[in-house]
Amino acid sequence: MKVIKVALADDHVMLREGISAMLGATPGIQVVAQVGNSADAIKIIADLAIDCLLLDLSLPDRDGIETVKAIRLRNKSLPVLILSMHPEEQYAVRALKAGASGYINKRASSLELIAAIKKVSSKSKFISPEVAELLADDLNGTDTESGHGILSDREYQYMVMAASGMTVTEIAEKMSLSSKTVSMYRSRALKKMNMKTTALLVNYAIKNKLVA
C-alpha cells in the first residue's frame, strides 16, 4: 500500500500536533513535516517529496489564498487541501479558484479529513456538498450579482476582517501590510460595492453571512 506523505502548515501548535498525531495513527498516511507559517510551507514543497499539503487559511505571515497562489507558481500539480475555521461561504470558492484542491472546515470529523486527504492525494478535487452548492451559485453568477464577487481577494479579505470588528491597524498587522495599503483596499472595496462608509460594508458582510 502506497503511503500518503502529508505536510501540515498551521500556526496553532496544539492543533497542528493533534492533527499530526491523528493522521500518524492512520494506516497509509505519514506526516513528514509540520510548519507554522507560509514561508516555511512554500519551502517544504521545494525540499520534500509530499503527496498533500494541508494548509491553514490563516497564517501569520501570509493568508492561505495568497500562499496557494505562490505555491501554484512553483508547483502546478501538488494537492493543497485548505483546512480552515472559516465557514465555506467565506473563502471556499476563492480558495479553489486560487488553485486549492479542496476546502474542509476545522469542525469536520477526523474521518472527513482523512477522506479529503485521500481524495486530493489521488489528484482529484475534494468538494463537499456545501462547497458544491457555492460553486454552482458562482457559476450561475449569483455571487457576482450579489456584489462581493467583484472584489479582489485582498479587498474581500479586508471586508471580512472589518466586519469581524478589526481596525485598519489590526488588519494591516494581520495581512502583513501597511495601514496605508489596507486603507487603499478599503477605498477600492467601497467604490466597487458602491458604498460610502465602512459601516455599510460591514452590514453587507453580516447580512450575507460572510462573517463567522
Domains (range + CATH), the chain: 4-133 (3.40.50.2300), 147-207 (1.10.10.10)
Alpha helices, H only, 99-178:
110-121, 129-139, 142-146, 153-163, 168-175
Query: Distance between CA 80 and CA 103 in Å, rounded?
Result: 9
pTM attached to this predicted model: 0.77
The C-alpha cell at 33 is 513535516
The C-alpha cell at 123 is 489528484
212 residues of the chain, pLDDT tens digit each: 789 999 999 999 999 999 999 999 999 999 999 999 999 999 999 889 999 999 998 888 888 888 999 999 999 999 999 998 877 777 888 899 899 999 998 888 999 999 999 999 999 999 888 888 877 777 665 554 457 888 888 888 899 889 989 999 998 888 888 999 999 999 999 999 999 999 999 998 888 878 76
Specify the pairing of strand 4-9 against strand 80-84.
unpaired
Query: What are φ and ψ of residue 54, in 5° steps?
Result: -95, 110
